[in-house]
Chain A
């Protein structure tokens, strides 16, 4: 068994991840505030159905484009729907898209990257495909995918995920390429460990730290991309409110009621700002060398 030398290098990244919350405490104000803002947004979004004052889909022609009042905290949109309820519920969907895209692209990218990094034959083919996927401007690829597959939530997540996968694959592959020469991997190969076991137990843990960082960035950029897709008319249909499609609808009435773009835009920006700040912090904490690799 390779247990004699493996555990240290294998467990280190895992331990690093686990102790992240502890180390976060020692940080300065910025990341701390970011963490608090993000937690508030996530809780507010998660509990939204419990406290929203109106049905976010309830159309009410009498109350079109009203200003803030006791009845409608932030006023109403062009269909008389309550903006506050829509923004809160929209946050739920936007966050789901962000986390969903991050989880899916990281898992798929991890699987492809491990194989690509370890098997030379597969590598050249996989990397050519990944290079060409990266060459296609991601936003065009995403609109095309949504336009062709219909504006469902899943098709939007898939459209945002696909262009991100090559970037994850490259990252995982670069880690695998450096680690596969380590003595403990050689030892595992020599001892006849099965290939899936080597990939999973010896190589995969090394990718966890950089993937966590990459995952946060993907999450942030997925939320942004969703907004851009909605804006261009290729987003989730408006029966499911997202920060993006609330703004996209609001832009027609921008000159009359800028708050239709302002509030969802503010929430979205705050959310992305926090995620990015935490991602930067995690990157610096987990592995200072990453800064060079990212470049």
Chain B
């Protein structure tokens, strides 16, 4: 088991290395000069040259790459070109709203989607099944921000139940945090629920046809136990996989949702940095989100063996 985890950890190294090379080249090889952005329109060539030298932009690509990787290993993510604040500080300030919203969304989605998928499979080809499937196809087809605006229109503007936008840290005022976080979480959850419910249903349908499910029913195990203990546990691996790969969807959802609801998280931070061409922030954020994505999927791979004892490494 430990050997397996180590092996998987090692396999992550080339992936992250390629991501780093890719992000680095992406920013160097596209038109647009960070020095020109920093200096503004009125800059003289001499000023531009000075900025380039101070940023190391005149060094050969390989040297620049080496410097950057060296900094990364020392935990230095660089300094924002625009606000002059170290990127790690910016991330530290803005990661909590994102983590809070994302965690709430994942918990909410799993709690909603898994029972939905189980019921849809259990009541296969009935109205309940069709309702779940319709929801899941619909969830894939409506852009996240449209869902967000519909929620704002209905719950905040028409019904006036919830505040329109904004964010309050839970440590400051938990009630306010909840009232502001509900709509973003529901918005984000729509697509995630659609994805997980669909996979749960498909996976459960397969398992429910197995002999041991028939045996369990025949020996009089209650239906709830059959569904959740016998069937769901065996159907869990694809469901977990989709929760992991769906994490990519969640990231893109977070980026959009933070803009819709005006939440100061790292999604907004990244988009703002990209639009302003704040190179150090872009590099750091893309690398960071990719690393998070890779590690979450690694953890899920490891979790398989705990959930499903048939998988042994």
Determine if A129 and B146 form an interchain contact, defined as CB atoms under 8 angstroms apart. Answer: no
- 12 pairs, A vs B, C-beta closer than 8 Å: A128-B14, A128-B15, A137-B286, A140-B274, A147-B277, A227-B145, A231-B259, A232-B256, A232-B271, A270-B141, A272-B140, A276-B137
Query: Count the A residues whose beta carbon is within 8 Å of the partner chain — how many?
Result: 43
Rounded to whole Å, the gap between the CB of B282 and the closest CB of chain A is 6
Query: With an 8 A cutoff between CB atoms, is A135 at the interface?
Result: yes
Q: Which of B143, B199, B203 has the most CB of A within 10 A?
A: B143
Query: With an 8 A cutoff between CB atoms, is A209 at the interface?
Result: no
Determine if B274 and A143 form an interchain contact, defined as CB atoms under 8 angstroms apart. Answer: yes
Using A135-B16, A140-B289, A144-B274 as known contacts, list a sample of 4 further A-B pairs with CB atoms less than 8 Å apart, ordered by residue number in A. A135-B293, A140-B270, A228-B143, A276-B137
Asked, given contacts A136-B19, A148-B27, whether A269 binds B141 with beta carbons under 8 Å apart, the answer is yes
Identify whether the interface residues of B are mostly helix, strand, loop, or mixed.
helix
A31 to B17, CA, bound (A): 44
Determine if B275 and A147 form an interchain contact, defined as CB atoms under 8 angstroms apart. Answer: yes
Query: With an 8 A cutoff between CB atoms, is A289 at the interface?
Result: no
Determine if B271 and A143 form an interchain contact, defined as CB atoms under 8 angstroms apart. Answer: yes
Query: With an 8 A cutoff between CB atoms, is B26 at the interface?
Result: yes
Determine if A228 and B256 form an interchain contact, defined as CB atoms under 8 angstroms apart. Answer: yes
Asked, given contacts A141-B286, A232-B259, whether A295 binds B241 with beta carbons under 8 Å apart, the answer is yes
Determine if A276 and B153 form an interchain contact, defined as CB atoms under 8 angstroms apart. Answer: no
* Contact pick for A234, options B137, B149, B274, B290, CB 8 Å: B274
Q: Residue on B with the closest CB to A277?
A: B137
Determine if B22 and A137 form an interchain contact, defined as CB atoms under 8 angstroms apart. Answer: no
Determine if A137 and B199 form an interchain contact, defined as CB atoms under 8 angstroms apart. Answer: no
Which residues of chain B are near A141, meaning CB under 8 Å?
Answer: 286
* Contact pick for B31, options A149, A232, A247, A265, CB 8 Å: A149
Query: With an 8 A cutoff between CB atoms, is B242 at the interface?
Result: yes
Asked, given contacts A129-B18, A232-B255, whether A268 binds B143 with beta carbons under 8 Å apart, the answer is yes
A214 to B15, CA, bound (A): 24
Identify whether the interface residues of A are mostly helix, strand, loop, or mixed.
helix
Rounded to whole Å, the gap between the CB of A251 and the closest CB of chain B is 7
Binds B, one of A48-56, A172-180, A253-261: A253-261
Which residues of chain B are near A148, meaning CB under 8 Å?
Answer: 26-27, 30-32, 277
Query: With an 8 A cutoff between CB atoms, is A42 at the interface?
Result: no
A251 to B242, CA, bound (A): 32
Determine if A231 and B141 form an interchain contact, defined as CB atoms under 8 angstroms apart. Answer: no
Residues of A within 8 A of B (CB): 128-129, 131-133, 135-141, 143-145, 147-149, 220, 224, 227-228, 231-234, 247, 251, 254-255, 258, 261, 265, 268-270, 272-273, 276-277, 280, 291, 295
Which residues of chain B are near A140, meaning CB under 8 Å?
Answer: 251-252, 255, 270, 274, 285-286, 289
A220 to B191, CA, bound (A): 14
Q: Residue on A with the closest CB to B22?
A: A132
Which residues of chain A are near B27, meaning CB under 8 Å?
Answer: 144, 148
Query: With an 8 A cutoff between CB atoms, is B111 at the interface?
Result: no
A131 to B8, CA, bound (A): 14
Determine if B202 and A135 form an interchain contact, defined as CB atoms under 8 angstroms apart. Answer: no
Which residues of chain A are near B270, meaning CB under 8 Å?
Answer: 140
Which residues of chain B are near A128, meaning CB under 8 Å?
Answer: 14-15, 18
Determine if B145 and A144 form an interchain contact, defined as CB atoms under 8 angstroms apart. Answer: no
Which residues of chain A are near B275, meaning CB under 8 Å?
Answer: 143, 147, 232-234
Which residues of chain A are near B103, meaning CB under 8 Å?
Answer: none
Which residues of chain B are near A133, meaning CB under 8 Å?
Answer: 22
Query: With an 8 A cutoff between CB atoms, is B238 at the interface?
Result: yes
Asked, given contacts A136-B290, A147-B274, A234-B274, whether A258 binds B153 with beta carbons under 8 Å apart, the answer is yes
Binary contact track B139-156/A, C-beta < 8 Å → 1, others 0: 011111110010001000
Q: Residue on B with the closest CB to A135?
A: B290
Residues of chain B from 261 to 313 with CB closer than 8 A to chain A in the complex: 270-271, 274-275, 277, 282, 285-286, 289-290, 293-294
